[in-house]
Chain A
Amino acid sequence: MDENVKALLIPGFEDPETRQQYAASLLYAHIALQIKTLRQQRGWSQTKLAELAGKHQSQISEMESIDFSSWKISTLMKLAEAFDLALTVSFESFGTFLDEAASLGRDALERPSFADDPAFRGKAKKRVVLESGSSAQSSFETAQALPAPLEFRKRPNQIGSVSTSDDFLVGTNPPRVGHG
């Protein structure tokens, strides 16, 4: 963390009565700036995000201000859906919270939508083919350049397997089966 940022924030966390105030202000700033960063990362106007999230442009403008404090989980979930991202909410120690919430630069706040998420690059490839209408040859080349995609496949039951006909992920740790 930047020395100037440390100097501004860390002293406030030493006092039990004030650290919740600091945590709240920092949380509001983090949410507002991440919404703005994600919107700009996608090249969207406030109006475009408002349409996708079922809000008014003026509401998006308010939410992008670091002093906006009237957050609802339901609103954040709508925004997450608009950005094609997952929303996480968790309780943290102050140290962990500071490390994450006090990192407010653009690089720290940007997130890829599902289509560009490296963990699901196989799905991203399929989407590119569908949307761009590129040829089978170029699709094949794209597929060769990417790591093996994650796929859902059915496997026949094996002896000792607890699975019946459930789908499970190939290419990651398989489910544990066959106890005893």
Chain B
Amino acid sequence: MIPYELLTRKQDGAMEGLLTDWRLEARERAALNVMLAVLFQVDVNMAVGSVLYKEKQPGIYYAKATGKIQLRPRLCRGPMRPNDEVTFLVRAEERGGDTIPADAADRAAGIMKEIAKDDSRRRRYRPDPLRAK
């Protein structure tokens, strides 16, 4: 699949803030980077159920990267080409069975609708090797 990231107001990639600025230990960072590496290589049939898990909101999924912190970023399939693309939308964690922020999926659904109207708000995610450490 092709991962996309949102753009900030300064037109920078938002993945840095969404994922890589997370204060993570080595285990979480490894799980997160491996999860991203997997997404780059699998098709949608492999991804759903192994990397991406459905939320109740249509088109919204969460990904899992497990360590001391349970990383559960919210993303959507597409929205332009749902069988080929995923877009990272909201940073989220799970603690004690609760999602933080609690409305992560609803927020993600709102952003997905906005992107569907204006595709210029996102770009292909290309990881920076220096940030991956």
Question: Is chain B found bound to chain A in the same assembly?
Answer: yes
Whether A36 and B33, one on each chain, are in contact in the complex, defined by CB atoms closer than 8 angstroms, is: no
Tell yes or no: A8 within 8 A of B by CB: yes
Residues on A with C-beta less than 8 A from B34 are 8-9, 22, 25-26, 29, 66
Whether B132 and A4, one on each chain, are in contact in the complex, defined by CB atoms closer than 8 angstroms, is: no
**Interface residues in B73-127 (C-beta closer than 8 Å to A):** 125-127
Whether A11 and B38, one on each chain, are in contact in the complex, defined by CB atoms closer than 8 angstroms, is: no
Tell yes or no: A79 within 8 A of B by CB: no
Residues on B with C-beta less than 8 A from A10 are 129
Whether B46 and A21, one on each chain, are in contact in the complex, defined by CB atoms closer than 8 angstroms, is: no
For B125, B126, B132, the residue with the greatest tally of chain A CB atoms inside 10 Å of its CB is: B132
Whether B38 and A67, one on each chain, are in contact in the complex, defined by CB atoms closer than 8 angstroms, is: no
A104 to B1, CA, bound (A): 12
Residues on B with C-beta less than 8 A from A17 are 26
Tell yes or no: B18 within 8 A of A by CB: no
A97 to B27, CA, bound (A): 18
Whether B26 and A18, one on each chain, are in contact in the complex, defined by CB atoms closer than 8 angstroms, is: yes
CB distance from A126 to the nearest CB of B (A): 33
Count class of interface residues, chain B: 20 to 34
Whether A36 and B133, one on each chain, are in contact in the complex, defined by CB atoms closer than 8 angstroms, is: no
A102 to B26, CA, bound (A): 18
A8 to B127, CA, bound (A): 6
**Interface residues in B1-55 (C-beta closer than 8 Å to A):** 26-27, 29-31, 33-38, 40-43, 45-46, 49-51
Residues on A with C-beta less than 8 A from B40 are 2, 4-5, 8
Residues on A with C-beta less than 8 A from B49 are 36, 61, 64-65
Known contacts: A7-B129, A11-B132. The answer to whether A65 contacts B50 by CB under 8 A is yes
Bitwise, A1-44 to B at CB < 8 A (1) or not (0) is 01011111111101101100110111001001100110010000
B interface vs A, CB < 8 Å? 26-27, 29-31, 33-38, 40-43, 45-46, 49-51, 64-66, 125-130, 132-133
9 extra A-B contacts, CB within 8 A, seeds A12-B29, A18-B26, A24-B30:
A2-B41, A4-B37, A8-B34, A12-B30, A29-B35, A67-B64, A102-B37, A103-B41, A104-B41
Sample (19) of A-B pairs whose CB atoms are under 8 Å apart: A2-B40, A7-B128, A8-B34, A8-B36, A12-B26, A12-B30, A21-B31, A22-B30, A25-B34, A26-B34, A26-B37, A29-B38, A33-B42, A36-B46, A36-B49, A37-B46, A102-B37, A104-B42, A105-B42
A interface vs B, CB < 8 Å? 2, 4-12, 14-15, 17-18, 21-22, 24-26, 29, 32-33, 36-37, 40, 61, 64-67, 69, 102-106
Q: 9 tightest A-B contacts by CB?
A: A21-B30, A25-B34, A18-B26, A67-B66, A7-B129, A7-B127, A104-B41, A22-B30, A8-B33
